[in-house]
Amino acid sequence: MTNASVHIRSARRAAITLLFAAAVYETLARSGIFAAALLPTLPQVAQTLVAMLVDGTMVWHVAYTLYRVIFGFSLAVAVGVPLGILMGRFRAVENFFLPLASALMPIPSLAWVPVFILWFGIGNTTTILIVFYAATFPMLLNAWSGVRAVNPLWLRAAGVMGASERRLFWKVIVPGASPFIITGLRQAFLRAWIAVVGAEMLAASNWGLGWTIFDAKEFLNADVMLASLAVIGCIGFIFERLVFGSLERITVIRWGMMRAAKD
Amino acid sequence: MRPIEIRDVSLIYETPAGNVPGVQSVSFQIAASEFVCIVGPSGCGKSTLLNIIAGFLTPTVGEIRIDGKAVTGQGQDRGVVFQDFAQLFPWRTALGNVAFGLEMQGMEKNRRETIAMEQLGLVKLEKFAQSYPHHLSGGMQQRVAIARALAYNPAVLLMDEPFAALDALTRDDMQRLLADVWRKTRKTVIYVTHNVAEAVYLADRVVVMTPHPGTVKTEVLIRLPRPRDPLSVEFLDYQRQLLQHLGQHAAAG
């Protein structure tokens, strides 16, 4: 089977599932069992979404949320990858940071929101730091595992060929650990995306997808809430499939270090 | 070209069951451009010895000298080919793998790729320069590994059973190819194998090692013209002679 036909088939299957779910929802919404204001029909939600896109408010909400998530996620990558690699390379670094990671990791990032609000106030600083907190641990742990999974033969071969510790890091350890690092990026982004919406509900004002949902509750705008949820789902899907999926295809799958998913 | 001296090298492994000698008091010399095979059964310390020469292991006693200079740690005066195909970097093309050592020297891109291409030509893989290792067969991957180890022009090429994981037909091809590469480059080679026929086909001299503890039992000079005919009477005589050296030990042990 060709690649294209596999894609079409999986897209068709996904469409069937989504259409079915939409049909169930639409039936419920129109049945009159629930108040219309609480369960708007899909055309109403779509109308609201279009209106919010046209007047630009949705674009700004998305922009704020993306800014926070990308900022926090980038910080998490900048800290998690080097620290994870150092932990995998040096016992002393591992001994020092592993207990810290083990202690902090089980604390849900949202539990920190009230604390961070006290420290940093409401706004970007707190939301970005919550994202950073949520994304750092999956990044760190995957980088750490990745280094320990690097084939020792690559290190030997590179050592014989005169690689310095710095070159070893960039030219052997990072690419050698890349299947784990990419998995870490994926998991970290997912956590970041979940955390940003929650953090915005509690610690943002005026802008952001999470904030919109929380704010809409005050005015019983269920259509705005559902429209925002749809946008959150779509952006998450785009990152998961297009950004990280493509990254995987042009690196570890091309290098034969990881197989593409079987249909 | 530089001679290599192995001087009274011993390595003792510390295990929970006590100290186990890996190799004991091994001494021999290798002339420049000589092809030396080390043969012996598993556990005789031949790979340990190679790892000491490569600098992956530090001997408990003794030293290795290349051109009169004691070696410590790893370095570009040695090239190493391992048995495992996974030794290549999967994220680099064949060309990128071969150019790695030159890149570490800081050589500029065009020059190192020209040299890497010549090396790939030596192992007849120019056409696969842009292929990633996972698209190459086991034999091709080992040829890339040989080109990679030669590319930065080390004094000696160390090979640890490089063809042991290949099927018999491919192994024959690879032995011919290696003999050809050696004829062209006249590199000093230390080649570890447990395959007696392979040793007779390739080597100027065969060092026979025996286990418990790992020591050099004897050395056999192979005085046969190249290219060698594995079916000739003389070839088979050498093979028998080596097998006797190894077999006597088995009977005694």
- Spatial distance between the Cα atoms of B182 and B32, rounded to a whole number of angstroms: 12
Lowest mean pLDDT among A63-67, A245-249, B244-248: B244-248
pLDDT of residue B251: 47
- Cβ atoms of residues B207 and B4 within 8 Å: no
In CATH, B15-77+155-253 is 2.60.40.10: no
In a domain, A236, yes or no: yes
Q: Which residue has the higher pLDDT, A184 or B74?
A: A184
Chain A nearest CA to B191, separation (Å) = 17
| A29-38, A69-78, B213-222, range with greatest mean pLDDT | A69-78
In a domain, A88, yes or no: yes
- When CB atoms are compared, the residue of B54, B84, B91 closest to A255 is B91
One domain, residues A118 and A248: yes
Contacts of B79 in chain A (CB under 8 A): 160
Residues in chain B, pLDDT under 50: 251-253
Q: Alpha-carbon torsion A158, A162, A164, A165, what sign?
A: positive
- When CB atoms are compared, the residue of A161, A167, A251 closest to B76 is A161
pLDDT of residue B253: 38
Task: Report, as an integer, the average pLDDT of A146-162.
Answer: 93
Task: Report, as an integer, the average pLDDT of A2-13.
Answer: 77
Pair of tokens at residue A139: 């990044």
Task: Report, as an integer, the average pLDDT of A254-258.
Answer: 90
- When CB atoms are compared, the residue of A153, A159, A178 closest to B91 is A178
Contacts of A155 in chain B (CB under 8 A): none
**Does residue A34 have a pLDDT over 90?**
no
Task: Report, as an integer, the average pLDDT of A235-242.
Answer: 88
One domain, residues A90 and A150: yes
One domain, residues A52 and A81: yes
DSSP string of A67-95?
HHHHHHHHHHHHHHHHHHHHHHH-HHHHH
- Spatial distance between the Cα atoms of B87 and A122, rounded to a whole number of angstroms: 53
The chain A residue lying nearest B90, using CA atoms, is A255
Chain A interface, mutation test: which of B51, B53, B56, B74, most A Cβ atoms within 10 Å? B74
pLDDT of residue B249: 52
pLDDT of residue A262: 59
One domain, residues A24 and A135: no
Strands B35-39 and B205-210: parallel
One domain, residues A214 and A95: yes
Vertex B130: Cα angle to B128 and B134 (nearest 5): 75
pLDDT of residue A38: 86
In a domain, A263, yes or no: no
Separation in Å, CA A169 to CA A82, A154, B73, B98, B209? 10, 12, 19, 19, 38
Q: Give the residues across from B156 on adjacent strands.
A: B78, B188
- Spatial distance between the Cα atoms of B36 and B221, rounded to a whole number of angstroms: 9
The chain A residue lying nearest B84, using CA atoms, is A153
- Per the CB < 8 Å rule, is B104 touching A175? no
Contacts of B135 in chain A (CB under 8 A): 256
- Cβ atoms of residues B142 and B85 within 8 Å: yes
Q: Which domain holds residue A125?
A: 40-253
**Does residue A201 have a pLDDT over 70?**
yes
- Per the CB < 8 Å rule, is A157 touching B91? no
One domain, residues A141 and A174: yes
Q: How many domains does chain A have?
A: 2
Tens digit of each residue's pLDDT (9 = 90 or more) over B103-145: 999 999 999 999 999 999 999 999 999 999 999 999 999 999 9
Strands B18-30 and B78-81: unpaired
- Per the CB < 8 Å rule, is A156 touching B89? no
One domain, residues A29 and A47: no
In a domain, A259, yes or no: no
- Cβ atoms of residues B129 and B117 within 8 Å: yes
pLDDT of residue B250: 52
Closest residue by Cα to residue B100 from A256, A163, A177, A254: A163
- Spatial distance between the Cα atoms of B194 and B165, rounded to a whole number of angstroms: 12
In a domain, A8, yes or no: yes
Domain borders along chain B are 15-77+155-253, 91-153
C-alpha A231, offset from chain centre: 14
A121 phi-psi bin (left φ>0, alpha ψ -120 to 50, beta other): left
- Per the CB < 8 Å rule, is B91 touching A153? no
**Does residue A74 have a pLDDT over 80?**
yes
Contacts of A172 in chain B (CB under 8 A): 89
Separation in Å, CA B100 to CA A122, B38, B143, B187? 51, 28, 15, 20
Q: Write down how long chain B is.
A: 253
Contacts of B160 in chain A (CB under 8 A): none
C-alpha B40, offset from chain centre: 14
Could you tell me the CATH number of the domain that includes residue A53? 1.10.3720.10
**Does residue A263 have a pLDDT over 80?**
no
Task: Report, as an integer, the average pLDDT of A214-238.
Answer: 90
- Per the CB < 8 Å rule, is A154 touching B87? yes
**Does residue A6 have a pLDDT over 80?**
no
Tens digit of each residue's pLDDT (9 = 90 or more) over A101-136: 999 999 999 999 999 999 999 989 999 999 999 999
Task: Report, as an integer, the average pLDDT of A132-154.
Answer: 95
